[in-house]
Chains A and B, each alone.
Chain A
Amino acid sequence: MKVTVVSRSGREIVKGGIELNDSATVADLQEAIHKQTKKHPSRQRLTLPVQPGSKEKPVVLNYKKSLNDYTSGNSKTLTVTFKDLGPQVSYRTLFFFEYLGPLLLYPVFYYFPVVYQYFGYKGEHVIHPVQTYAMYYWCFHYAKRILETFFVHRFSHATSPLSNVFRNCAYYWTFGCYIAYYVNHPLYTPVSDLQMKIGFGFGILCQVSNFYCHIILRNLRGPAGEGGYQIPRGFLFNIVTCANYTTEIYQWLGFNIATQTIAGYIFLAVAAFIMTNWALAKHRRLKKLFDGKEGRPRYPRRWVILPPFL
């Protein structure tokens, strides 16, 4: 089989095309392109060509499938469009670095009050119990996230663009410092004991629930991340599409009830906004996929992310 590899502008990427045997898979083609162009398969996005000016989305080639699945009839030729996705990193690497920042930076503000001298606070530094609990809560949260990244999560996509590492790290590390600065401030005003207990109690409950939600999601996929989209069931997933995001948002609400900083609430609002967009997209996707037609199950009526609001 002869495969012609072109760019989106129509320029031939591999001169003269690539000769492969008839039973070759998309993965074999990617390896062949790798040999010719030095672009690793993780950087390659192969699609079937679309007509110029066409509004329809191109069909992305699945690396597990045979190339014959994408040819018309008995044709022994195939043209694919190649896009270089740029340098890639594994999702584990991405998540590890974005969570490592807050885990290491937050305790700096707690254990080294000397930091505040650079901001002009020279006086005595009294540590309130809520600040200690907040530090443990925060570190537990990010340690949990890192451990889940390595031992719980199964990823449908193997890699993410390298640029996302810088963007995500900037987001998490900046917010980590921003919140830590105020929660550990020498002039911090603690909330009442009752409010602190309610906040942290609710937060811990949500963290445990979040972990259980991740276990449920893990079991929907095979070890290699295969399994496609399935209807999540059990526990909070019976009432909310994205229960993992729900518990994530509400556990930050618990933290903010206990610590009461504007910085924390800004982080909560931004995180909730981002996760709501993801949840709405996932909810739409699941409803479209499980439409109750042609033997497919019908997606049950559920909240999207934030019961009782959305």
Chain B
Amino acid sequence: MTASVSPMKRLYLSLYNFTVLFGWLQVLFLVLKTLKEMGHQNVYSVAQKPLLFAQTAAILEILHGLVGIVRSPISATLPQISSRLFLVWGILWSFPETQTHFLVSSLLISWSITEIIRYSFFGLKEAFSFSPSWLLWLRYSTFLVLYPTGISSEVGLIYIALPFIKASEKYCIRMPNTWNSSFDYFYIAIVALAIYVPGSPHMYSYMLAQRKKALAKAKAA
């Protein structure tokens, strides 16, 4: 039993990584093609399906961490994936008014390049127990530019969505009700924005530490 677990796990993780990689490749291709042919207003409508697929599939990464089939800590994975899902479903999908903004293009380009590098790195590592050194370098270096652009786009889009959230009252629960609770999506969005203030530098410094560790290890090897 135990002998077959490892190959099965590796096969599953390889399939997972390459499937999601394909999704992100599609996103990048469609974004660049649309920008060239139709302009930024149409980027979201064209890339929506592969984007929703690729980003929602990342929920499995949280499960992988919980079950223990990957080593990455939940504390690092959970906030990152949660914020991405909040943006994809809670902002872009829920409020079509934000979909035509140019920040959608910068967001999707930042995300897709990051994820193409990341998933190809993990995919090769799982499938062939090896990944080229240049890919390792890209994995731990591109974030230096792509994190700031991605995070700025995320913050910008949440901010742009605020008036539409307030006006629509979407996802709001009002009192009175049996469970004596209320929920205001507008304030949730503001809290999400506030979390970015300490969250972004924290994630960035975490990645810098990871970079230092990974590149030092690669150098030693």
Contacts and interface: CB of A to CB of B under 8 A. Distances in A.
A193 to B, nearest CB: 16
A261 B179 contact: yes
A185 B178 contact: no
Contacts of B178: 189, 260
B179 A188 contact: no
Interface in A169-192: 182-183, 185, 187-189
Contacts of B129: none
Contacts of A260: 178-180
Nearest to A262: B181
B181 A187 contact: no
A187 B178 CA distance: 10
Contacts of B179: 260-262
Interface of A: 182-183, 185, 187-189, 259-263
Nearest to A263: B181
A123 B213 CA distance: 60
A302 B176 CA distance: 43
A188 B177 CA distance: 8
B191 interface: no
A188 B179 CA distance: 9
A188 B182 CA distance: 11
Contacts of B182: 182
Nearest to B175: A187
Chain A interface helix/strand/loop/mixed: loop
A182 B175 CA distance: 9
Nearest to B173: A262
Contacts of B177: 189
Contacts of A188: 175-176, 180
Contacts of A263: 180-181
Interface residues of B, number: 8
A259 B181 CA distance: 11
Given A259-B180, A262-B181, 11 more contacts: A182-B180, A182-B181, A182-B182, A183-B180, A187-B176, A188-B176, A189-B175, A189-B178, A260-B178, A260-B179, A261-B181
B169 to A, nearest CB: 13
A259 B175 CA distance: 15
B34 to A, nearest CB: 42
7 contacts: A182-B182, A183-B180, A259-B180, A260-B180, A261-B181, A262-B180, A262-B181
B192 to A, nearest CB: 17
Contacts of A189: 175-178, 180
Interface string B54-84: 0000000000000000000000000000000
A183 to B, nearest CB: 7
Contacts of B181: 182, 261-263
Nearest to A266: B181
A189 B179 CA distance: 8
B25 to A, nearest CB: 40
A247 B84 CA distance: 40
B59 to A, nearest CB: 22
B161 to A, nearest CB: 22
A185 to B, nearest CB: 6
Nearest to B183: A262
Contacts of A182: 175, 180-182
A261 B178 CA distance: 8
Interface string B159-198: 0000000000000000111111110000000000000000
Interface pairs A-B: 10 shortest CB-CB:
A262-B181, A187-B175, A187-B176, A261-B180, A189-B176, A182-B180, A262-B179, A188-B180, A189-B180, A189-B178
B127 to A, nearest CB: 33
A92 B122 CA distance: 50
Nearest to B174: A187
Contacts of B176: 187-189
A252 to B, nearest CB: 16
A187 B176 CA distance: 5
Contacts of A262: 179-181
A115 B59 CA distance: 40
Residue from A183, A259, A260 with most neighbouring chain B CB atoms (10 Å): A260
Nearest to A185: B175
